[in-house]
Structure 1
Amino acid sequence: AGVPVDWQAYLRPAAAAPAPLPTYAFQRERYWLERKDAAPGDEGRGWGSLGHPLLAAKVEPAGGEQVLFSGRVSVGTHPWLAEHAVLEAPVLPAAALVDLVVRAGDELGLGTLDSLTVHTPLVLAPLTETELQLTVTGTGTGTGTGDSGTRAFTLYARPAEEGARWTAYADGTLSAAAQPVLPAGDDSGTEVALADELLPDAVRYGLHPELLETALRAVEQAGALSPAGPGSVLVPAEWHGVRLHASGATVVQVGWQAVDERTVAVRLTDAAGEPVLTVGRLVFQEVPYDRFAAGRAALPLYRVEWDTAVVPVAETPLRWAVVGPGDGEGTAVTYPTLAEAAEAVAAGAPVDGLRVWADGEPGTDVVGALHQRTRDALSLVQAYLADERLGNVPLAVVTRGAVAVGAEEIADLAGAGVRGLLRSAQAEAPGRIFLLDQERQPGGGGEPHELDALLSALVAAGEPEAAVRDAGIRVPRLRRGGPTAAAPSVPGFARSPEGTVLVTGGTGALGALVARRLVTEHGVRHLLLLNREGAAAPGAEALVKELTEAGATVTVTACDAGDRAALAAVVDGISAEHPLTAVVHTAGVLDNGLIGDLTAPQLTGVLAAKADAAWHLHELTRDRDLSAFVLFSSSVGVLGGPGQANYAAANAFTDALAALRAAQGLAATAIGWGLWDPAEIGGGINAGLGEAGHKRYTREGFRLLPVQEGLGLLDAAVADGAAQLVALPLDLAALRAHGRVPVALRDLVRVPGRRSAAHGADAAGTATGRVPLRERLAALAAEEREPVVLDLVRGEVAAALGHAGAHQVDARRAFQDLGFDSLTAVDLRNRLTAATGLRLPSTLVFDHPNPEALAAHLLGRLDLGDAPGGMSVLAELDRLEAALLGTDVPDDEQTRSAVAARLKELLGRITAADTPANDPSDAAESIEAATADDLFAFIDNQLGRSAG
């Protein structure tokens, strides 16, 4: 026996969420409560606890006259705020502001609130707490004889999430000047009482805000104020001469005097007629509903902005060669194929980087070009990443007009798909692939730019993607944008009640959610839902019944939107009585695989479902008067994602199509979604990622998207009108902890240039000033090196799996049992590449059974020799190479011949087996004695950097 439990209602006040249990083998660990020393008193910290429900602490900064008060508020912690909502968003009422300011005044000996002006409604964050900060300035204290102690204050608020900005909502003054007690007024017979469930909290406030708000509503309902007009609401905006005479009241008599049609004086008294609170003058203002929308906390909607960047010129420009057709720009060295370029690099050719043109001539077969060019790009990048000879040679892929900077029209949609695919390749192989987009001229050519110098600068600066516009460099960054709240109804979906809205994937997990939203929230009455199985699709019958009962006419049609002819027949079959007025394209499929394993059929299938269908919808409807053309895209198209190169290509094309339509004056909204919470949507194309995939997603700093939040973001994005928005809830702290932040998020997440004390730093050590791994190991005896490398491996394994530290990783446990899959394997490979400086394959964890075996392999790859001093030779070479990177190459033959002769002698001394130079310390001394010029050709030959 029992009763159903509403867990959401039970857990809501604590803002709790379900926590998935691990499904893979894991270690058991005990945690004991640690005894802590007694904390020092607040007076020793410079802050004090206030015990007020809205103000938690007071801080008096050293060396200033400012006092700071802070607190947090949310509907979860203050449920009564749910009753104070406008446009379904909770608002912190002015009465709450009055009480917290009065409480701050009490702390400073300032008993009168001289003035309080509320400049904009404080709409609370929908899913997080809102932080409050009250700053009080000035020197008055109100403690001296005759001292009014007037001090100014400003109230700020922001969502309690990292990176949110403070906004000023109200300001005013406090003083110690006494205010006269007002007479009872024209009407003192109205009694108001605090609700029973709020009585326990009454003593924590000076005057519970809900009681004061109820009193003000009584004044308004009594006709003391002229009513607000349509689309507006009256709010108490200006408070003057406010004084709290008694605290903890639960029942008050309300008296007021009308000053004018929007101004009153208010007096609240207790049962004995004694004053509780008096307001000398209270001015109400008429506030339009859209002001509440503007005040709402920013939703996780981002715009892609191409910011002007200042990229320093590289100290040592790389020597670039072109693979494929030459272009006459920059270097003249050209190799017909990548294989020939790799052979040349291995033979010592003067090549430091490879450049490939991935542009195409505009044509009518956009879909065909997309498929062909993404296949070509896939083949290229697979060959490049698989060729160990190119491990230290960056690849730059150049397009023309494949991104929209500002309001310009995209000229190369297929190129946008290529760039999307390569963004995922960048995510799998950081620091090796670079993307550059040039302007496309009307004639189809590009302006001559010094590509070699520009690409060298991008590589040196670590900017993996850029565009050249107006001779300036632009880099992509996500910026908080879009609306702060959605209007209650989006006209774009239901411009005409007789119109038809077409939804692809209409009975799938996301399509069904959209269909319900259109009917229940936006008044759509005619829906055409497309899927591949028609009415026989799982859930289709129940969905149609539900929507029909809600008042809609629903048609489910079997149609593969990637089939242009089939889609054309459906679109042409829409009756003139209910013409097509809006399109929502939610259809899509996943077929994930690491870039090295991805096949052409995998690429084709994913492109067809998303990109082909989007283009066909565009072509078949661009002559119709659509009020909305919504494309469900993915954040992967913007950020890239390991294992999803095909999906990234499809969605990058979709984003570009939206930009093209917008530039042509057509309706267009592409929304780059993060992951919808599979537990709420009941599946979806991302359900196959499984629990491990979803845990990895959240560990990397991305929050799963709840259904209601996602639908709200849909409304907000369409209402905004921007062609491309990214709907991506972020956990900035987790992003920072993860370490490798996608380039587009760099302005949102500032990662300090310091290493972890335990692991995870770059092998070179130059950026952090630490000793490189090779040198650290070289200084150790041979038997001491293996534990150091093993600790490094265990630490990086722990980081890749999201464990607290290396102690949680059993060095002899199989990688599969530890929880590794192909994506975490790539993550570990990238971490170890950065930590060791070695180029490692993505199959690293599959080539070695456990961390212990992998550590032994890495130690062998580092090739340190038997004696600690053996590494000093290479260390000196590293030092001299770094010094020579800034040295000019000798141009005259005589100088080069002299250098060559001297270094041949030095090289002979180092390599001769029967000379003392075979001793590592002697070799090191020989190298130390050599000048930069002496070693230039030697380093060129040994490290693949020819002097030519």
Structure 2
Amino acid sequence: MAGGLSLSDGARVVALRSQAIRAALAGRGGMVSVNEPVDAVETRIGGWPGRLSVAAVNGPRATVVSGEPAALDELVAACEYDGVRARRIPVDYASHSSQVEELRERILADLAVIEPVSGRVPFYSTVTGEVIDTTELTAEYWFDNLRQTVRFGQVTHALAAQGFGVFVEVSAHPVLAVGIEDAVAVGTLRRGEGGWERFVASLGEAWVHGVPVEWAKVLPTGRQVDIPTYPFQRERFWLGSGGQPAAGGGLEATGHPLLGAWVGLAQSDGFLFTGRLSLAAQPWLADHAVNDVVLLPGTGLLELVLHAAHQSGCHSVEELTLETPLTLPERGEVQLQLELGAPDADGQREVTLHSRHVGDTETTDEWVRHASGVVGPVRRQPSDDLVDELAAAWPPPGAEPLSLDGLYERAAALGLRYGPLFQGVRAAWRIGDQIFAELELAEALQDEADAYGVHPALLDAALHATGLTPAAMASDSGRLPFSWRGVTLHAAGAASLRVRIVHGSDDSVSLLASDADGVPVVTVESLLTRPINAEHLNAARRAHDELPLHEVVWQPHPLAADAEVGSGGLALVRCGGGGGVGGDVVRGVVAEVLGRVQGWLGEGEGDGGPLVVVTVGAVAVGSDGGVADPAGSAVWGLVRSAQTEHPGRFVLVDTDDDEASQRVLPAAVATGEPQLAIRSGRVFVPRLERVTDSSDELLQLDPEGTVLVSGGLGTLGRLVVRRLVEVHGVRRLVLVGRRVDG
């Protein structure tokens, strides 16, 4: 023993204190974690004198309150009203409160036999907030440890100020580490990850933060390998998929996983919220598909509006109509814009939600409106009778158990495909027209539950339970949310729910969801559903999946007034096949230009400017008659590749035989454009323009014929092939390319 308590004495402290708490305090109290500084929390709980007290200060904004259950419920409601995150800790006793006083004599007697000794390692006490000698860890100390406020945040702050930069929380799941803001904090194990692999991964996290690890003892059969002695070289030219817009630049961060930022509108008292969705950033959404189309569930749209309403000071969604499905493409991402209008005389605000698809190459679709409605400041409370019903015996007396066998198989047959992350119904019962169900968020999503008002996958499971009625089980069509009315969020961050669902006569349901203690989480006065509209879904999918086509268009480029200057200072290579189309002619011209290009690069020529490669009639500009020199076109292909590898070293210019074109050649090169065409003295540059729908109609293809697609095995080729099949009805294709697989 290095000091402090022996193993047997430590076990005695843990076991006997726990027994005392269960025997005397269980069921009489509780604890709540509040995301506020301790000073603010102390002011807040002043409204419940003698009933609530600060139990622990774990960090600058991590404070725990303990006390009577009813007072804690009122505290949570007050925090939610003020926009402060507060959640119940799953215990039924009030440690670190005045209730502990009655355990004093029992604990002192139970622990009288422990024999603490002085240790060699400094011991920081969370009771005193300072270093103490471990001989002080007597029975009296361990009572104070249970009774007094835990000063964990004070201790870690003091240690960080002394230069301790890394803290390791030894536990089954990191709980205290999240409150440490002054240093790096890592855990050991995690919920659902209690094996050796997780422990070694945690060691790796500590090691990269500078903690020495004796890897030879951890992995005796492993072998150390050298890593590159230079930083990994990586350049990004495109914005990454997923992720939320960063705060700053006039934007405020929302802290929500689906809505990244918001800003107040200048010409009204409204708000604009923005976000991004993608299957790369939110892979759990792939488990929600309707007719094989992945889309954001109606509960996800509701979650977005609830969060925005809360940010604006509103507490309920008075009405929300879902107009168009928000589908998620296989590639790229979806940009979101949620707008809250100015409040009316009653404090209500109109809300609209739009999205547009951004493809892999940052091309975008048009904005599509998905939902509209009204949010308001009124906080609707469920009746006491309903709350008492869910808080009493569970399941309710007289409830008939319902079998869940085949629930999700029947849903899939109706077009509603729910993957494992959305299969949240755990048990269900029925009393007349009422359905009662237990719901649980998939384990893989539980760590992120706190980030949501109510996780869309969890609330969506409540709608799955509606499929257990005889009418729903006999139906031959699936149904989707259409209109929400009177929705109020009472508590955030739930990972499991108890729900009561009542069916109306107009294809609507009302819903009350609570946590395991019967505390209300969310109420829905009315949810109207509609049968799946397959045509609507397919249209929404096509709008995302069919990335817009683009074409190269030669656009006029203005020159300076003194454009006609001499060409003596340019390094020119004039080339072409003179209109010849034979293979030998083309190969000869390309080989000649290739030699000049390689010499230009290898001998360091052109330090004073680029090499200008001039062709005549090698590209088609507008309606000028098309390509007159195939060999020159091949040269363009070669030099474009060289331009990609060596930006700024080469310029391509295609001219005609007009004298005016020759005079403006130097001025055209001086524009800095890498590729130009000159016709009758006018300069043109290539630009990408989106192909309109009418352009597709001009492409007449025989559906019974065969279409050859060059490069058809690559990414772009596959998109072209898909369009040929879906838009033009082509059924026979020949795909050629350099790849031998695919």
Q: With the length of structure 2 as denominator, give the TM-score of the two structures.
A: 0.47
Using CA pairs under 8 Å that are at least 6 residues apart, name the structure with larger relative contact order, 1 or 2: 1
Q: With the length of structure 1 as denominator, give the TM-score of the two structures.
A: 0.38
More helix by share: 1
More strand by share: 2
